[in-house]
Structure 1
Amino acid sequence: MNRTARLHALTESLRRAGTRGRTAHQLAEEFDVTARTIKRDLAALEVGGLPVWGRTGPGGGYGLTEFSALPPVNFTAAQALALAAAVAASAQAPFSDSARAAARKVLDVLDPVARRRADDLSHRVWVNVGPSASRRVMDALEQAMIDQVTVNMTYHDARARTTEREVEPMVFALDGGRWLLVGWCRLRADIRWFDLSRVQRATATRHPCAGHHVDEIGTPPEAARPAVL
């Protein structure tokens, strides 16, 4: 999870904790970083205007002195279950950590009866997703896509050949159950489709993309459609 996403998720974690708050150790475990990193993040949130409180000693920790909540969400148990199932099924998809954070925000303000019913039903939905890139790799690819900068990748292709590529990200595509990155490969000077599960390392650069348009990829499959809400 990149720092921007972590700061947002950290804010939501403190909101959920309410007046109880969370310790730096608990937050560090939740986000798989050090307590020192958490304290730096909390300081950054406070500088940004978030009303963070801190208590020392037994029972101490961090929380929000005042927090707003989403208005009541009138989801049915089936709708809540559908949301949870969709997020679970998208575990290998781009921005999946943001999807989980968004789902938690909705479920946290769900009617308690509907929430309990959805929890019970969730055991009747099984999800088995295929392999994908590590979260560290996905963070780099997602940030490069958002900022429209190139990404340096170590790629292991289907013929077991490993190459170093600088790629201009154009589209994330789900095809046949596999998530792919479609981009302009500066090594091959052409558009290439990269299986995300074969990307071993990735680092977003500061080099702006040249402006290749999505239309250059060609005509998408007839059943393909953009992820428009």
Structure 2
Amino acid sequence: MNRTDRLYALAEELRRVGPAGTTSARLARLFEVSARTVKRDVSALQQAGLPVAAQAGLGGGYVLAASVGLPPVNFTPAQAVALALAVRALPPGSPFGSDADAARAKVLDALPVEARARADALAARVWSRSEPAQGPPATVLRAVEQSLDRSLVVAIEYGSSDGTVSRRRVEPILLARTGGLWYLVAWCRLRDDLRWFRLDRVLRADLTPERYDPRPVASVGEPPSGARPVSARPSDA
């Protein structure tokens, strides 16, 4: 990452952590530079008018002034390509796949002309393909996505491994991908218990108007080996 891109990324990281601030040591690890380089970069941001204040205490650190109003997040060309690569790597039928593709296009369209040209040139040098996979119908994905987002019970038709089809009302808790397959983990009202439903075996899903109180993710237990929430961020440790 060149210095200009790093300065953009550093400003965005300070914006993200907000009033809690972050340590210089963590910033050095995050951007793979020395603490001295972080200090010089912060000084450059301060000279450019960004109100970054130094924090006292063990390890030191930096925080943006509480009153600062920053413009919308700016992506570097490399970050835009990384997002495009992540979207392209999604297997067909992945949850929120259509939203991911729309977001990718928005990110590229929002780049300044010069940055867009750099992103296009960089992206042309990265080849990727998604692995073939059988996914559920788009209507099933949309119903499950909206159910999770709005906490609405969803009625599903589910095909078991022996070919029988059951009709159930479920309360989604989370979506998980393991063993190359997507699962809907939900509270099944028919079984009055938690169940993992293979998403490619959900034949139909209809959103109902009935709301439910989402169960905590911890109720599902430990995630599969190597898995972590999509919301996970670089460690603050």
Structures share a fold, TM > 0.5?
yes
Q: TM-score range by the shorter chain?
A: 0.5 to 0.7
Runs of 4+ in 1 over 4 A off after TM superposition: 69-72
The alpha-carbon deviation at position 135 of structure 1 amounts to 1.4
Closer, same or farther in 2 for the Cα pair 1:71/1:222, shift >3 Å? closer
Q: Is the 8 A contact 1:166 1:185 kept in 2?
A: yes
Letter in 2 for 1:86: A
Equivalent in the alignment of 1:85: 85
Letter in 1 for 2:192: A
Structure 1 residues 156-165 or 219-228, which shifts more? 219-228
1:36-75 equivalences under 5 Å are: 73-75=75-77
Name the SS of the counterpart of 2:108 in structure 1. Answer: helix
Name the SS of the counterpart of 1:155 in structure 2. Answer: strand
Closer, same or farther in 2 for the Cα pair 1:120/1:222, shift >3 Å? closer
Equivalent in the alignment of 1:96: 97
Taking every aligned residue pair, what percent have the same amino acid on both sides? 35
Equivalent in the alignment of 1:188: 191
CA-to-aligned-CA distance 1:20-67 (integer Å, 9 cap, x gap)? xxxxxxxxxxxxxxxxxxxxxxxxxxxxxxxxxxxxxxxxxxxxxxxx
The alpha-carbon deviation at position 119 of structure 1 amounts to 4.5
Equivalent in the alignment of 2:119: 115
**Matched positions, count:** 158
Structure 1 residues 181-190 or 211-220, which shifts more? 211-220
Closer, same or farther in 2 for the Cα pair 1:73/1:153, shift >3 Å? same
Query: Counterparts of 1:225 and 1:100 in 2: how far apart (Å)?
Result: 22
Unaligned runs of 5+ in 1: 1-68
Query: Counterparts of 1:148 and 1:199 in 2: how far apart (Å)?
Result: 19
Please report the TM-score for the alignment, with normalisation by the length of structure 1: 0.62
Name the SS of the counterpart of 1:188 in structure 2. Answer: coil
Query: Counterparts of 1:209 and 1:114 in 2: how far apart (Å)?
Result: 47
1:15-34 equivalences under 5 Å are: none
The alpha-carbon deviation at position 81 of structure 1 amounts to 3.3
Closer, same or farther in 2 for the Cα pair 1:212/1:80, shift >3 Å? closer
Residue 176 (str. 1) matches residue 179 (str. 2): yes
Query: Counterparts of 1:121 and 1:96 in 2: how far apart (Å)?
Result: 23
Equivalent in the alignment of 1:164: 167
Equivalent in the alignment of 2:145: 142
Query: Counterparts of 1:193 and 1:184 in 2: how far apart (Å)?
Result: 9
User: What is the root-mean-square deviation in Å for CA atoms of aligned residues?
Assistant: 2.2
The alpha-carbon deviation at position 210 of structure 1 amounts to 4.6
Query: Counterparts of 1:222 and 1:153 in 2: how far apart (Å)?
Result: 28
Please report the TM-score for the alignment, with normalisation by the length of structure 2: 0.60
Closer, same or farther in 2 for the Cα pair 1:186/1:222, shift >3 Å? same
Query: Counterparts of 1:160 and 1:144 in 2: how far apart (Å)?
Result: 26
Query: Counterparts of 2:222 and 2:207 in 1: how far apart (Å)?
Result: 28
